[in-house]
Structure 1
């Protein structure tokens, strides 16, 4: 009977669903339509990549820990799955495949151990005074033109996220704008493959030079520590170092910026909610958790593939298939979060969201992103409690398969 049920579910799920550009702009509406068909869907993405999209909370959690599902895209099975289903365009450089996010144990365990301490709760608490200092400095700069229109992403969220992660890694101040530009190109679904390739080459070239300079003159930063560990323990190759720095810069920066931007956009639409946070700043922490559930800074997790056939949500998925787990969809699954399209700061289980993924690949920078968001919102509300949306009310979302963030966020800080 179990096999018969799985076969019936598989037949429905195997019907290819074509996803159009509205998938990028309003993913929640698309997920609702898909969810009415079941928890797992064979889809063709707008860029023609095909794979299996998971929209159910419990099935997403299962996929994160399923031993038949692998992240090792540089393996022969991973390369074959990417080539067969059009996924190569998302992982054009071999450098991507050396990232720990695309590794299985024991290689992943080895790489993750190198950065766990730097992003742990204790390390983040030690960073909080510096994060606060950066936030206050940015707000002070904005105060010069407090009555003018500001792009809160350009003037606040972006520089805050970039300065924190670059200071942590030891990236010189004058080079940070370049990192932001490269990151934006790499994560946009509107860019050509040629543009992404050029951005990757420039990014890798810069990181390569940075590693050499840190090797000659180490500092008190994470990159210097990674170099030292690699030399003493013979644990990191030069290629692995490049991939690690690339991953931490892009993931650490993008997660924080989009979380702050999405949180502010919610406050702009709900003055009563903003008043609650002003009256009780202690509620900013649960507010951030509900933002993570309601409007996650990431939509889908990076590709996995089935190293062996498996059953997810009653659907039989053969070996060699690409798997796309949607945290964005899972966190609005009504079976896990009742009335999921309502933002509720008092929701008792908001913190059970999957915004940072799950299993061994859960985002290593989650504590840092949370801390930056809480500090950024606390300082913004404290300095400019009456900030409001500028004349143009239409918010435009970035066209990206991975990140969920706004193109811009124009506000006036004071009436």
Structure 2
């Protein structure tokens, strides 16, 4: 961020609508040795073992959510509200030890970061409220440590080094916000893709393709993050004859990269679960590759497989044209996903 000329010159106001994407102190805005240090400390807490141990819990949460869906009438049920949102929100809240009374408010605060229709005043208030909410969580965990990621991050050390207070709080904002919002969109986008491509859904449910393949193709074809703010040029960069001056902020379009015919062939715009090359940037690349990728993939695979097994006749309740995209230049998803299915009620 310090390399952005507009920021260094004080031209970015504190109530800018994207302030929570730049005025933060975590891995998203760090590079070089600063990024390595933060990632090393976070990796000590967010281990592969910790993620794999969540599989049973994710299955239990999904079962409970599907049970509640089965209690509904099965007509015009919002899949986002009843499955795609509460599953990752519960998982990430449990993982970080967030008390249940504060989860709904935290969800609203995180959602506002991805909403580019909020006013400058709302953006500034939300930015501060997010910091205060996670500061309270840190204070609670210092007083009452638990077997959770927040406590692990508080205790994380690399020699004499540990996260500063602001780094700790904004790291929690990054991990909790990204940990539920992006996975929610992944589940919504995958369900929509499969429901609008029944021949592809049949390949998964009958065996020729796997649920992992469906998740990866969704990440390529319709990623949870369409554009990511920001990377910053250290020198003049020329792309396709266009000069991007040094000190510029660059908005990276992951969604366009996933449909690049030079990478994926002439059918790059088509959803195909049997595609051999599914390379994508949905989780970024290189040093900034998302630490939460294994958890997002695990949640999506479990949720989708259990959803379509429980409700094999699941269909969209409205036409595709009636689905409303999120009002975000960052998050890529829907405001709701209405579906129909046969609900089997116990006698």
Asked if TM exceeds 0.5, the reply is: yes
CA distance in 1 between counterparts of 2:169 and 2:116 reads 24
Picking from 131, 138, 158, the partner of 2:58 is 131
Match for residue 225 of structure 1 among 152, 169, 174:
152
Q: 1:345 is matched with which residue?
A: 273
> Is the 1:252–1:369 contact (alpha carbons within 8 Å) kept by the matching residues of 2?
yes
Mean Cα displacement is larger for which, 143-152 or 401-410? 143-152
Q: Structure 1's 166 and 158: CA in aligned 2 closer, same or farther, altered over 3 A?
A: same
Residue 105 (str. 1) matches residue 1 (str. 2): no
Cα RMSD of the aligned pairs, angstroms, is: 2.4
Instruction: Classify 1:304/1:413 alpha carbon distance in 2 versus 1 (closer, same or farther; 3 Å).
Output: same
Deviation at 1:275, TM superposition (A): 2.1
Question: 1:76/1:157 Cα in 2 relative to 1: closer, same or farther (>3 Å)?
Answer: closer
Residue of structure 2 in register with 1:240 after alignment: 167
Tell me the SS of whatever aligns to 1:102: coil
Alpha-carbon distance in structure 1 between the residues aligned to 2:21 and 2:77: 39
Q: What is the SS of the residue equivalent to 2:188?
A: helix
1:306 to 201, 212, 233: 233
Structure-2 change in CA distance of 1:79 and 1:362 (3 Å): same
**Residue 69 of structure 2, aligned match among 142, 166, 187:** 142
Residue 314 of structure 1 and its aligned partner are, at CA, apart by 5.2
Classify the secondary structure of the residue corresponding to 2:84. Answer: helix
Aligned-residue offset at 1:412: 1.6
Distance 1:369 1:233 in 2: 32
CA 1:146 to 1:136, structure 2 compared with 1: closer, same or farther past 3 Å?
Answer: farther
Question: Corresponding residue for 1:367?
Answer: 294
Q: Which residue in the other structure is 1:51 paired with?
A: none
Q: Which of residues 123, 133, 137 is equivalent to 1:210?
A: 137
Q: Any conservation in 2 of the 1:153–1:261 contact (CA below 8 Å)?
A: yes
**Cα distance change on mapping 1:193 and 1:181 into 2, 3 Å:** same
For 2:163 and 2:44, the matched residues in 1 are separated by 16
Distance of aligned partners of 1:76 and 1:276 in 2 relative to their CA distance in 1, 3 Å threshold: closer
Q: What is the distance in 1 between the residues matched to 2:328 and 2:4?
A: 27
Partner of 1:355: 282
Q: Structure 2 residue aligned with 1:318, among 220, 245, 257?
A: 245
CA shift in 2, pair 1:371/1:240, >3 Å: same
* C-alpha deviation, 1:313, in angstroms: 4.7
Mapped to 2, the partners of 1:328 and 1:391 lie a distance apart of 25
> 2:335 aligned with 1:398, yes or no?
no
Q: Deviations over 1:92-144 (max 9, x none)?
A: 36983312110112111111112225444443222111111111111111111
Instruction: Give the 3 Å change call, closer, same or farther, for CA 307–342 of structure 1 in structure 2.
Output: same
Supply the distance in 2 between the matched residues of 1:134 and 1:117 (Cα, whole angstroms): 26
User: What residue number does 2:303 align with?
Assistant: 376
Per mean C-alpha deviation after superposition, the further-off stretch among 134-143 and 224-233 is 224-233
For residues 110-121 of structure 1, what are the structure 2 equivalents within 5 Å?
Answer: 110-121=37-48
- Displacement of 1:87: 11
Write the distance in 2 (CA, Å) between the matches of 1:189 and 1:168: 28
- The residue matched to 2:262 in structure 1 has which SS? coil
Q: 2:187 corresponds to which residue?
A: 260
Q: Contact conserved, 2:5 with 2:247, CA < 8 A, in 1?
A: yes
1:157-168 to structure 2, matched below 5 A, reads 157-168=84-95
Q: Answer whether contact 1:95 1:243 (CA < 8 A) is retained.
A: no
1:15-34 residue pairs with structure 2 within 5 A? none
In 2, Cα distance between equivalents of 1:96 and 1:386: 46
Q: State the distance in 2 between where 1:325 and 1:116 align.
A: 25
Q: 1:116 to 1:82 in 2, by over 3 A?
A: farther
